[in-house]
Copies of this chain bind each other. A is one copy, B any other.
Amino acid sequence: MTESTHTVKSYEQELEHLGSLMARMGGLVERQTAQAVKAVVDGDEEAALEAPELDPEVDELEREAEALAIRILALRSPMAVDLRTIVAALKITGDLERIGDYASSIARRAMKLESEGNISLVGLRNMGHLVQNNLRRAIDALTTKDRDGAVAVWQSDTAVDELYTAMFRELMTYMMEDPRNIGTCIHLLFVAKNLERIGDHTTNIAERVYYAVTGEMLPAVRPRGGRSYPAS
């Protein structure tokens, strides 16, 4: 990225540059999500501090990618798969930005968590790892234009929603049992909800990648429980 934007680039180079901006942005929010999960489930303070620190860089990459996408649209009149890829990039930056936002929000909450006492974090750890894993696979599918990878991510969001529902029930019982758990449980509930939302945006990315690569839409009804908000 040391290359000046004033350099005259070929169309091909511009598309590649857009791809690399998206890959960097994806890598950053992936890192934010990993650090956020680590901050909550391992109580890792350094990780909690790092996630929000990456926000400005994510925002800057979003602006850069969008400016480049608009420039390509204006000057190159891209067609077919190139046009779809650029439109997908414009939409996906929004999803990535939101994922980074949720991850930072989780990390900030982690800093406010006092001892969890008797509250088990196993469910949250599983949910966190699943969401992280799906996000990593979605970003891989994005950077390698992998249609099948996108479908696999799209299908696995149901598991995230099921884990969320279980978490919700579990945390409710801790609160009912002992009101001293309420503060911690509320934080953990929001963490779980934010992870579920990261899962939703990951699904969106997978749908966009699929459309960009194939020109076809995945079915409108997604295989996720999130739409019906089962437990909450």
**Chain A contacts to B: CB under 8 angstroms:** 55-56, 59, 63, 66, 69-70, 73-74, 77, 79, 83-84, 87, 90-91, 94-95, 105, 108-109, 172, 175-176, 179, 182-183, 186-187, 189-190, 193, 217, 220, 227-229, 232
| Total identical chains | 2
Choose among B91, B172, B227 the residue that contacts A94 (Cβ–Cβ < 8 A): B91
Chain B residue numbers with a CB within 8 Å of A91 are 90-91, 94
Choose among B95, B187, B190 the residue that contacts A193 (Cβ–Cβ < 8 A): B190
Q: Are B84 and A70 neighbours in the complex by a CB distance under 8 Å?
A: yes
Choose among B59, B83, B90, B109 the residue that contacts A220 (Cβ–Cβ < 8 A): B59
Cβ of A177 to closest chain B Cβ, rounded Å: 9
Chain B residue numbers with a CB within 8 Å of A220 are 56, 59, 63
Q: Are A229 and B94 neighbours in the complex by a CB distance under 8 Å?
A: no
**Given A232-B109, A232-B190: A73 and B70 within 8 A (CB)?**
no
A109 to B105 Cα, complex, angstroms: 23
Q: Are B70 and A74 neighbours in the complex by a CB distance under 8 Å?
A: no
Q: Are A63 and B217 neighbours in the complex by a CB distance under 8 Å?
A: yes
Q: Are A70 and B90 neighbours in the complex by a CB distance under 8 Å?
A: no
In the assembled complex, 22 residue pairs joining A and B whose CB atoms fall closer than 8 Å, in A order, are: A55-B227, A59-B220, A63-B217, A70-B83, A73-B83, A73-B87, A77-B77, A87-B90, A90-B90, A90-B91, A91-B91, A105-B229, A108-B228, A108-B229, A109-B229, A172-B183, A172-B186, A179-B179, A186-B186, A186-B189, A186-B232, A193-B193
Q: Are B187 and A232 neighbours in the complex by a CB distance under 8 Å?
A: yes
Closest 6 CB pairs of A and B: A77-B77, A175-B182, A94-B94, A90-B90, A179-B179, A105-B229
**Given A84-B70, A108-B229, A109-B232: A179 and B190 within 8 A (CB)?**
no
